[in-house]
Amino acid sequence: MIYSVDKKDIEIGISACLIGEKVRFDASNKPSHFCIKEFSEHVSYKSFCPEVAVGLPIPRPTIRQIKRDDVIHVSQKDGSGDVTEALKAYGKKIASMTKSLSGYIFCAKSPSCGMERVKVYSPEGNSLPSKGVGAFAKEIMDANPLLPCEENGRLNDPLLRENFVARVFAYKHWQTVVESGLTKHKLTTFHSQYKYTVMSHDLIAYKELGQLLARADLPLDEVAAQYILGLMTALKIIATRKKHANTLDHIQGYFSKHLQANERQELCEQIDAYREGLIPLMAPLTLIKHYLLNHPKDYLTKQAYLSPYPDKLRLRYAY
């Protein structure tokens, strides 16, 4: 299986408050049920609280992002206790130490850990457009542009949750291949396993990645760098029902000649019902997996698209 690795080998960075550590300004936490009860069965966590790490006490006065002369500062609301540079320095330090991470889950809206839409204020305390990025989170993401990142609040959305988890397992697979010593053959094999995954997210990227691997004028390291950037960028795009249905149609074509007329009709009806929003994605996928047991196709069996992560997560039952 694509995801057959020990949970200890899949390390996810996470805001400490999300897994129950009482490190927030009011000595509370902000536990995420998904992170603690579900995802933790398949990954291990490396937790961080940058505010505590730079010396702020528990409990502590709240801090916020304040825009002064077009520069964002992180301090108490009266401007005192500025920790902007300390948070940035800590972010750079952790970023350099966590290249082995396969994903990161940040605490939303935090002036230190928010990925996006963090509240920003004027020096007078007036609310400005919420376009801030947490000072710590920015350093982590800037240093690791391939790293799958998400916020706890967005993980409540079934589509965003599934997308993040799929990216984590795909990225971990890539890390494992690279650690084993990347070769042209390994890169080509990796791509062959993710063809239908990419197709379900971005058809243009699907074609471009294939063309990239066909080039013989580029050194392997350059091809690999362009490839994984293109793949992870494509996987950020949320796959729609239309794209999934198109992918399922392509998969069906591989073994439809081996099916009886009633079996072909049943699969077509399942795909159409999914396309129309009547059933979840797991329904036609389950039927395809059943037919693959009876009519094995090695190429299809190895497709990450069919089993991108442990089935126990049940992420494809919700849409």
Look up residue 122 and give its amino acid: S
**Residue 58 lies inside a defined structural domain of this protein:** yes
**Residue 209 lies inside a defined structural domain of this protein:** yes
Domain count, the chain: 2
256 and 123 within one domain: no
**Residue 253 lies inside a defined structural domain of this protein:** yes
122 and 68 within one domain: yes
Q: Are strands 44-48 and 11-15 parallel, antiparallel or unpaired?
A: parallel
166 and 310 within one domain: yes
pLDDT tens, residue by residue, 262-304 = 999 999 999 999 999 999 999 999 999 999 999 999 999 999 9
Q: Last residue of some domain: 156, 173, 205?
A: 156
Identify the weakest region by mean pLDDT among 65-69, 91-95, 253-257, 283-287: 253-257
Sequence-separated (6 or more) residues with CB below 8 Å from residue 286? none
273 and 161 within one domain: yes
163 and 128 within one domain: no
16 and 145 within one domain: yes
Q: Are 172 and 102 in contact (CB under 8 A)?
A: yes
73 and 186 within one domain: no
Q: Would you state the pLDDT for residue 4?
A: 59
191 and 53 within one domain: no
**Residue 30 lies inside a defined structural domain of this protein:** yes
pLDDT tens, residue by residue, 167-196 = 999 999 999 999 999 999 999 999 999 999
- What is the side-by-side order of every strand in the sheet holding 11-15? 44-48, 11-15, 103-106, 149-151
165 and 95 within one domain: no
**Residue 55 lies inside a defined structural domain of this protein:** yes
Domain range for residue 102? 7-156
**Residue 128 lies inside a defined structural domain of this protein:** yes
Look up residue 199 and give its amino acid: M
**Residue 216 lies inside a defined structural domain of this protein:** yes
CA angle, 36 as apex, 236 and 113 as ends, to 5°?
A: 55
85 and 14 within one domain: yes
Task: Kindly report whether the peptide bond that precedes residue 57 is cis, defined as omega within 30 degrees of 0.
Answer: no
**pTM summary value:** 0.95
135 and 37 within one domain: yes
**Residue 1 lies inside a defined structural domain of this protein:** no
Q: Are 166 and 308 in contact (CB under 8 A)?
A: yes
**255 has pLDDT over 90:** no
Which of 5 and 152 is assigned the larger pLDDT? 152
Q: Are 309 and 103 in contact (CB under 8 A)?
A: no
Q: Are 3 and 308 in contact (CB under 8 A)?
A: yes
